[in-house]
Amino acid sequence: MIGVKEYRTITEISGPLLFLEKTEPVGYGELVYITLSDGTKKRGQVLDTSKDFVVVQVFEGTSGIDTGAAVRFTGETIKLPVSSDLLGRILSGSGDPLDGGPRIIPEDRWEITGSAINPWARDTPREFIQTGISTIDGMNTLVRGQKLPIFSGSGLPHNEIALQIARQAKVLGTEEEFAVVFAAMGITHEEAQTFMKDFERTGALERAVVFLNLADDPAIERLITPRMALTAAEYLAYENDMHVLVILTDMTNYCEALRQIGAAREEVPGRRGYPGYMYTDLATIYERAGRIKGRRGSITQIPILTMPGDDITHPIPDLTGYITEGQIVISRELHRKGIYPPINVLPSLSRLMDNGIGPGQTREDHKQLSDQMYAAYAEGVDLRGLVAIVGKEALSARDQKFLRFADLFEDRFVRQGREEDRSIEETLELGWELLAELPETELTRMDRETIEKYHPKKRRKNGDQRS
């Protein structure tokens, strides 16, 4: 940073952006310090650079900046000081300690934008993570190295579900615990408190790194918060061999900040005003989940987003769904029925499920069981629409059974306690118990052997005492 000059050549300030003239050649993406006339320091990043002008986005907001402010270009891109001492710390959205603890003594400084993992170096995620939640373990299985977002709506208990996953997540047969990296973007103090209290209560804070950008913190800072968090996660995973669970909440606020910058730059907007590059931008966050061949650690991501107007086709959930490996969808309808966790399995999906289930991981019947439950529940839910028109009596005996299955499924399989940690065996047995309510001829997703071996009625006949 020797010979770095300060410039007082701001010509225009527009929203979060500064326009400067007559600078030395400045690198694209460089970190910038802005010193205000009252001595306050702010940080920014170069968005556009040429011989004539430079555009800088300011993370802490442009309030208080005038054309006389001093701008210093650091000659390097934004970096996070990384260290294994990050564990147990609470940091701001741009990486400064908030917990009154000492500054972090860096073992290294890593660029927060990260680099793409060479697809050839990736290892397929395949270790089953037991979350203890039946709708996830049984029907939308999470595996180590996956990115599985929670699609929620405002006022729904997505935070509780994320916490329950963070608390209960384990890989069967290992005692290793997950380290948790938690990045909050624009959530309220109250929500942040819920998370912090739970981390403290369960002792999870010791193996957690927390980045907090709260609702009243600068919006533009949200653009770097998830990148800071993922850089910390990468350090823990790839340098310290840890298995890291990254929770990002709320990605909707991140996208709003992205839109704000796009608007300030007068870019041509894409759908609903979000920038055309939002897909690529989100991909540079989500794609940082994964496993690398020959390295022990892993990064599993659970981003949370609230769908504006519960609309799954809104650009934020839509683009997210195209990048992530599935989604867990929280349903307002189930929530209203008083069912916790209100996970609607029909639109939910885990694309990596088939890697993580089956013999050696869970059980050989898992795939067929979950397919069958999906099909039966979908049919039951469809029939509810019919009942609303013609009444229950008009249904055939077969249809009545499916209708009953759907009710039982929600009441017993979906519903569980906030502290209830079901083992995968329990989840699968529960599934069989519910399917046994249907006639055997309707189990078309299963082959003969599986039915013979696992169907509760057959097992009773065969004198199996397992359940």
Partner 1 sequence: MEVSKGEILRVAGPVVTATGMHARMYDLVEVGEEGLMGEVIGIEGERAIIQVYEDTSGVRPGEKVVNTGRPLSVELGPGLLGRIYDGVQRPLPVLREMMGDFIRRGVSAPALDRKKKWKFIPSVKAGEKVSGGGILGEVQEAEHVVHRVLVPPNVSGRIKEIYEGEFTVEEPIGYFEDGKEIKMMHTWPVRFPRPAKERFMPDVPLLTGQRVLDTFFPVAKGGTAGIPGPFGSGKTVTQQQLAKWSDADIVVYIGCGERGNEMTEVLEEFPKLEDPRTGAPLMERTVLIANTSNMPVAAREASIYTGITIAEYYRDMGYDVSLMADSTSRWAEALREISSRLEEMPGEEGYPAYLAAKLSEFYERAGRVRTLCDKEGSVTIIGAVSPPGGDFSEPVTQNTLRIVKVFWALDAKLAHRRHFPSINWLNSYSLYVDTLRRWYEEKVAPDWGRMREEAMRILQEEAELQEIVQLVGSDALPEEQRLLLEVARMIREYFLQQNAYHEVDTYTPLEKQYEMLKSILKFYEYASRALQSRVPLEDILSLKSRVELSKVKYEKDYKEALKRIEEMMRKEYADLGVEV
Tokens of 393: 């009596």
Rounded to 5 degrees, φ, ψ at 153 are: -135, 170
DSSP-derived secondary structure for 327-359? EEEE-HHHHHTT-SS-EEEEEEEETTHHHH-ST
Can you say how many angstroms the Cα of residue 103 is from the centroid of all Cα atoms in its chain? 28
Which 195-234 residues touch partner 1, going by CB under 8 A?
Answer: none
CA distance 110 to 232: 9
Beta-bridge mates of residue 300: 245
Stretches 90-98, 168-176, 198-206, 391-399: which one binds partner 1 (CB under 8 A)?
Answer: 391-399
Measured from the CB atom, is 95 or 380 closer to partner 1? 380
Which 297-336 residues touch partner 1, going by CB under 8 A?
Answer: 312-315, 318-319, 321-327
Across 163-253, the runs of DSSP E, i.e. the strands, are: 170-171, 179-187, 208-214, 243-249
CA distance 259 to 202: 37
40 three-class SS: coil
Residue 121 engages partner 1 in binding (rule: CB under 8 A): yes
Residue 410 engages partner 1 in binding (rule: CB under 8 A): no
Binding to partner 1 by CB under 8 A, coded x per residue (else -) over 19-38, reads ------xxxxxx--------
Region of 439 (left: φ > 0; alpha: ψ -120 to 50; beta: rest) is beta
Measured from the CB atom, is 139 or 187 closer to partner 1? 139
Residue 15 engages partner 1 in binding (rule: CB under 8 A): no
Q: Which of 57, 260, 355, 361 binds partner 1 (CB under 8 A)?
A: 355
Q: Which of 74, 77, 194, 400 binds partner 1 (CB under 8 A)?
A: 77
Would you say 171 and 245 are in contact if contact means Cβ atoms under 8 Å apart?
Answer: no
Pair type for strands 90-92 and 17-21: unpaired
Measured from the CB atom, is 298 or 416 closer to partner 1? 298
Stretches 151-159, 173-181, 284-292, 426-434: which one binds partner 1 (CB under 8 A)?
Answer: 284-292
Q: Which of 15, 114, 308, 456 binds partner 1 (CB under 8 A)?
A: 114
What is the smallest separation between the CB atom of 439 and partner 1, expressed in angstroms?
10
Three-state secondary structure string covering 376-427: HHHHHHHHHHHHHHHCHHHCCHHHHHHHHHHHHHHHHHHCCCCCCCCCHHHH
Stretches 32-40, 251-259, 388-396, 422-430: which one binds partner 1 (CB under 8 A)?
Answer: 388-396
Q: Which of 264, 395, 408, 436 binds partner 1 (CB under 8 A)?
A: 395
Residue 47 engages partner 1 in binding (rule: CB under 8 A): yes
Would you say 326 and 348 are in contact if contact means Cβ atoms under 8 Å apart?
Answer: yes
Stretches 4-12, 99-107, 377-385, 402-410: which one binds partner 1 (CB under 8 A)?
Answer: 377-385
Measured from the CB atom, is 26 or 438 closer to partner 1? 26
Tokens of 184: 């909050």
Tokens of 70: 């001093």
Q: Which of 1, 2, 105, 390 binds partner 1 (CB under 8 A)?
A: 390
Number of residues that bind partner 1 (CB under 8 A): 88
Q: Which of 116, 175, 309, 419 binds partner 1 (CB under 8 A)?
A: 116
Would you say 167 and 194 are in contact if contact means Cβ atoms under 8 Å apart?
Answer: no
Measured from the CB atom, is 214 or 395 closer to partner 1? 395
Which 439-458 residues touch partner 1, going by CB under 8 A?
Answer: 441, 444-445, 447-448
Measured from the CB atom, is 225 or 355 closer to partner 1? 355
Residue 295 engages partner 1 in binding (rule: CB under 8 A): yes
What is the smallest separation between the CB atom of 116 and partner 1, expressed in angstroms?
5
